[in-house]
Each structure stands twice: as structure tokens, then as C-alpha cells.
Amino acid sequence: MHVKLSGLLLLICLCVQDAMAQLPDFTEMVKTNGTSVVNISTTQKAKKIVADGTTKPQLPEGIPPEMEELFKHFYNNPNGGGEDDFAPGETQSLGSGFILSADGYVLTNHHVVKDADEIIVKLTDRRELTAKLIGSDARTDIALLKVDAKDLPSVAIGSPEQLQVGEWVLAIGSPFGFDQSVTAGIVSAKGRSLPGGNYVPFIQTDVAINPGNSGGPLFNMDGKVIGINSQIYSRTGGFMGLSFAIPMDVAMHVVEQIKAHGKVAHGWLGVQIQDVTRELAESFNMKKPQGALVARVVPDSPAEAAQLQIGDIITEFNGHAIDKSGDLPPMVGMTPINDMATLKLIRQGEDKTVRFKIGLLPDQDATVAELAKPNANVVVNKIGVNVTELTAEQRNALQLPRGGVIVQEVVNGAGKNAGIQRGDVILRIQNYAVNSVDEFSKIVRELDAGKSIAVLIQRNGSPVFLAIKIEK
């Protein structure tokens, strides 16, 4: 019995050792690359006034309120002292970065150094160097710095395209100001599209990233940087298992433009797009939901010159398949200005190919005024949506020169089930433009029950397609 128990214990030990042997060992990677990771602090002369009239330090974005007192003390003076030790009228923030080349180029996030009057790069050998901002790009959240130094330890750049979901990755940075903190995890997904990040196909990981990690490198198992840690998704301000990194091919594209021109030019098509849902795919007679559905064509844009139409579904860009709408903007954005590009699309059930010249993305996005209150002339229809004509004031506020009816009330029915809301402007139903209440009523009367119908609305200044299905 004793012999059998000893044998079982030995087997368990061997299994544990085998499992541990299969786990990655990051020690050599950290030794090799740790010296290339830097801490970045910034100073702003502008005061941030609190209720008692004193200045308040700028802490890393998203810090939990219950930890603010502890960390403002830590940031202001490592030896103690609190916020009174700040220079009058100055605020400070901390982030991470890494050395791109031995001659002193450093890469970090745009939001780490935004509006900074002074940028300090702290090396692992405790040298603190004043950095010059060579250029930055808010759309991709990339900033390139330069310090006056030579023979600096630099990172090797890897290929995000070869990165596989499930692969181990490692981050080094300064969360909450704790320099050279190392965390590891796996790649959770690739090509994530986030609000405000249309030109970045983010790498999603479960690596522990916290305020202060921003701008730090994400390494693959070959010890090469494949991403820049940029954002987290959190309801608490701290890590919750969802971290996002900017792929290095996007970052290096920005770096090359900054070095050459001092700024970044993004390619532009000039459409507002959305995903094709299963219901919308049915309404467009598609076999499966895919592509980028055009909800708006911007006036005087390359898309308008190429005669793209609302309702077109873009399925390819320069030979690359568009599975989700988020796939398209990064591809267009990284294409050189004035290059000719090719789109494949589906228009009213037919395959088409369109050629267009890449334009320059405007500096400012168009803004639309808020909707005025609808008037009281209501028309009822069988989808449970009460609509009325738009007044001249409403058209002016919405920048709609013609077409559309405004939703004043939504009752139980197909419209409510599809998500139509009071204040929406209905612009199109299937392939028919809606120019008046009479046209709207006629189109609705002829809708078939049991079939998904694509309806284009405008809400809060943005167009979006919804799928309505009238019950039989």
C-alpha cells in the first residue's frame, strides 16, 4: 500500500513538473528588454483648482477615488510631503514609453504627453533626460519623443500580423508610478475597433494594465515589441481583464510620417459605416452578414466623387476582405494620400467594383446641432411609428437640406422592436428615399410582413441602419 501511494505521489509530482515546464519563462526577456523601457513624467504649468483654492496634482486617468489620497502623496514626493511640495502652478502626470533607437528616439502614447510643457524621460540607470516632442497623432494615440543621448538600449520591433490569438505576451511599464513592473497574459483578440479609435485595429489582451502603463511596450515571446499598451476597459478605473494595445505596424507608420513631415496624414474615403447584422443581411438578400454598410456619404469626399451610395455594402478594400465595418478605416487610414484604391461592394444585390483616389482626412469631424422639438402634425402607420414633417428650423439644425420625416412617437410594434426612438429622422426605407410623410406612408403600406426591411435613420447627427420586421 505504501509503495502504491509513493508511486502515485511521484506521478503527481512529475505531472506538476511537466505542467510547469510548459509555462513560459520570461526572466531572460525581462533582463534583455527591461532597460529599454522608460518612465515618462510631464509637467503642465496650468493650475487645477479645487474647492479650497489649492492646486491639485494630475494623477493617472482612471485612478480609483479611494486610492487618490495615497497616490497623490506618492507621486508628489517619494519621501513624503503631499501636494504642497509641487511647484506653484504646476501639475504632473506619469506614463511609460520605450526606446526605439540607440540615438534617443522614444515612443509613447499621445495622451501621456498631451499639453505638456516639459517631458522627462527616466531611464533604468536613474538618468533623467528632458525630451523634445518630435510629433504626435491623437487619432492613433502615438507620440514620438527625442532625448539627447547616445548608445541607448533599444527594443526590437516585431510583426503584429503574425501574432496569434492565445499567444503569450508580456508588458513592462510604470503602473501607478511603480517603475519596471512586469505583467504577462495572452492575446485575447485582434483587430478590435473601439469608440474614438477608428484608425487603430487594437490588440486585446488579458495582461494586467493600469494607469501609468500607458505608452509601454507589449512583447511577444521572441522579445520583440508588437504593440503599445494604450487603453483598458474598466468600471472601477483599475484592471478588469480587458487591455488594448496599438499594433506596431500602425505605430511605425505614424513614426515614419512624423520623422519625414513632422505630422501625420491619414487616408480618407468619406463614408459613415456600420456592421451588417443578421437581420440587415436578410433585408439586403445577403447569404451571410459581412462587410461595411454605408449609412452616409460625406459631401465633397472621395466617396462622393466615386459615386458611392447609401446602402452600398463594402466587402473588399484593395483585395483585403472586409468582414466587419471596423476593418475598413485602418486600411484606408494607412494608405498614402492620392493613391488609387479599389473597393468591391454589393449594391442592391449586385456585385460592383469601384476605383477612387485616397483623400486626406480633415482635421475636424463635422458636427451636427441637436434636434429641435418635433411639431404636432402626426401620421400613424402600421409599424407603430408616428411621424411628422420636418420644419425649416429642424432641417437647419440637422443640416438636412431635403428628405426625411421625424419620429414623434413610437408605440408597440415592429418599429419599437427594431429600436426606433422618438426624435429619429427616417431617411430611407429599403432602397426608397423618404422625402415626405405621404411617401413614407405609401412605402410602409406596401411593406411585406415576415421579411426584414432596412430602414436608414439619423440619430444624434449620425446615420444608422436598423432592420424592421413586420409580424405576419
8 A C-beta contact, residue 207 and residue 183: yes
8 A C-beta contact, residue 346 and residue 406: no
- Which of 41, 93, 214, 230 is catalytic? The answer is 214
Q: Is 261 a catalytic residue?
A: no
Averaged pLDDT for residues 389-413: 81
404: pLDDT confidence band, cut at 50, 70 and 90? confident
Q: Look at residue 51 and give its three-state secondary structure.
A: coil
The CATH number, out of the four listed (3.40.50.300, 3.40.50.2300, 3.40.50.1000, 2.30.42.10), of the domain defined by the range 385-469:
2.30.42.10
- pTM beyond 0.75: no
- Which of 137, 141, 179, 327 is catalytic? The answer is 141
Question: Regarding predicted confidence, which is higher, 10 or 61?
Answer: 10
- Percent of the chain at pLDDT above 70? 81
Question: Regarding predicted confidence, which is higher, 19 or 79?
Answer: 19
Residue 471, pLDDT > 90, answer no
56: pLDDT confidence band, cut at 50, 70 and 90? very low
* Maximum Cα interatomic distance, the chain, rounded to a whole number of Å: 93
Same fold, 156-261 and 267-360: no
Question: Regarding predicted confidence, which is higher, 311 or 71?
Answer: 311
pLDDT at 229: 96
- The domain 156-261 having CATH identifier 2.40.10.10: the answer here is yes
Residue 184, pLDDT > 50, answer yes
Give 462's Cβ-side CA count (13 Å radius): 8
- Which of 110, 111, 253, 266 is catalytic? The answer is 111
User: What is the H or E stretch that residue 28 is in?
Assistant: helix 27-33
Give 120's Cβ-side CA count (13 Å radius): 11
204: pLDDT confidence band, cut at 50, 70 and 90? very high
- The domain 267-360 having CATH identifier 2.20.25.240: the answer here is no
Q: Is 101 a catalytic residue?
A: no
pLDDT one-digit tens code per residue, 94-108? 899 999 999 999 999
Residue 172, pLDDT > 90, answer yes
Q: What is the DSSP letter of 157?
A: E
Question: Regarding predicted confidence, which is higher, 412 or 464?
Answer: 464
Looking only at the bridges linking them, the beta strands covering 462-469 and 202-205 are unpaired
Q: Which of 20-34, 133-147, 158-172, 347-361 has the lowest mean pLDDT?
A: 20-34
pLDDT at 368: 31
Residue 80, pLDDT > 70, answer no
Mean pLDDT of the chain: 83
pLDDT at 233: 85
371: pLDDT confidence band, cut at 50, 70 and 90? very low
Third-level CATH fold of 36-147: Thrombin, subunit H (2.40.10)
Question: Domain ranges in the chain?
Answer: 36-147, 156-261, 267-360, 385-469
pLDDT at 21: 56
Encode 190-214: b = buried (16+ Cβ within 10 Å), e = exposed. Answer: ebbbeeebbbbbbbbbbbbbbbbbb
Averaged pLDDT for residues 23-42: 93
408: pLDDT confidence band, cut at 50, 70 and 90? confident
8 A C-beta contact, residue 54 and residue 76: no
8 A C-beta contact, residue 174 and residue 186: no
H-assigned helices in 319-400: 328-333, 392-398
386: pLDDT confidence band, cut at 50, 70 and 90? confident
CA distance linking residue 411 with residue 85, whole number of Å: 61
468: pLDDT confidence band, cut at 50, 70 and 90? confident
pLDDT one-digit tens code per residue, 136-154? 999 999 999 999 999 999 9
Averaged pLDDT for residues 297-325: 93
Burial category of 294 from C-beta neighbours within 10 Å (exposed 0-12, middle 13-18, buried 19 and up): buried
Q: Is 214 a catalytic residue?
A: yes
pLDDT one-digit tens code per residue, 254-309? 999 999 988 899 999 999 999 999 989 888 888 889 999 999 898 889 999 999 99
Nearest CA-CA partner of 432 in 413, 414, 423, 445: 445
- Percent of the chain at pLDDT above 90? 50
CA angle 283, 289, 293 (to 5 degrees): 70
Question: Regarding predicted confidence, which is higher, 203 or 401?
Answer: 203
Averaged pLDDT for residues 424-453: 85
Question: Regarding predicted confidence, which is higher, 193 or 52?
Answer: 193
Averaged pLDDT for residues 7-27: 66
